[in-house]
Chains A and B, each alone.
Chain A
């Protein structure tokens, strides 16, 4: 018997992701050359950029699933929105940490209130707020509806964050690959695309597992409720069946 959230599909996907990570480490830390402007520090871009891209994608999925939940009110969409936001939060945290570690030797500071950094921090706080709503002690449907409404706020914040370097003059560099003429080529571009593919695979793999974990949480909650209701019914029927003690006049 399989007592986990794994299946044949997730095992295959997980194995491919692991091989992908091994390749990313090889290309990112060994095979790809240093950049003419950034030197060796460009290696952090192979983590920073993919985690940011995939986190933005994860929040887009959360928004789409929230809209679908508000229209259909089905558990499936609620779980997709929840799981995707959780993974997006983890990846965005990785984006922030890798960006800070890149900023210190490049800009001389870990953090500056640049438009891109500020909007990323706002997005992170917003997704933490969304996950906090998910923990509110409310009826499940009410909580899911409220979370779906809060989840919609991720869309404008993600868009502003993504276009911050285009709309404002920022210390953070502008688009490198998300443009018609990518600003890198050769092994650097290959490693960056490899990073994007590997983190996208990781997202899909984690998404399937998180969906199943959240689904199981709901089922355990339901079983707990069913048991409690059955218990109360047994108590009630027991109380009815038990003859009440005779109460005669006090002499």
Chain B
């Protein structure tokens, strides 16, 4: 598992660092609610992109010849995504320390939004990608990512907290679902 995470971290640093810089630039430059949502979606895309690259390079087959299981592989991607969410939250908190209510929000509503908005599409997209592969799932991913989840968020703190918990729960539920989907994909011969 540690090896898989190490490989993903190197992959992101090597191939996706520009993406991560872009997220920060969007946040710093625009300092708006829209920028916040955009950054959240960009972060949600990274693990999906890594997953598609793994498929293309045939790492998905290769890593199963190493002392790793399908569950390890899926869990690695979820841990990676959580790490990215964590980085985004820390980044937001640091920016808040510098600029205060820089997207016109208090710290807590901002963090709750930054947690909820990327988690919901990820909870939907990851099981689909594990089941059907990046190519087939791409249409679904696009449809999910263009959904304006942030518009449905309640305005009060309690509602936002409840929504964030629901998102967290869905994300947690999608983890074993993704493991099942990935196993099913190999069983049916759909994986490379």
Question: Do A and B truly interact?
Answer: no
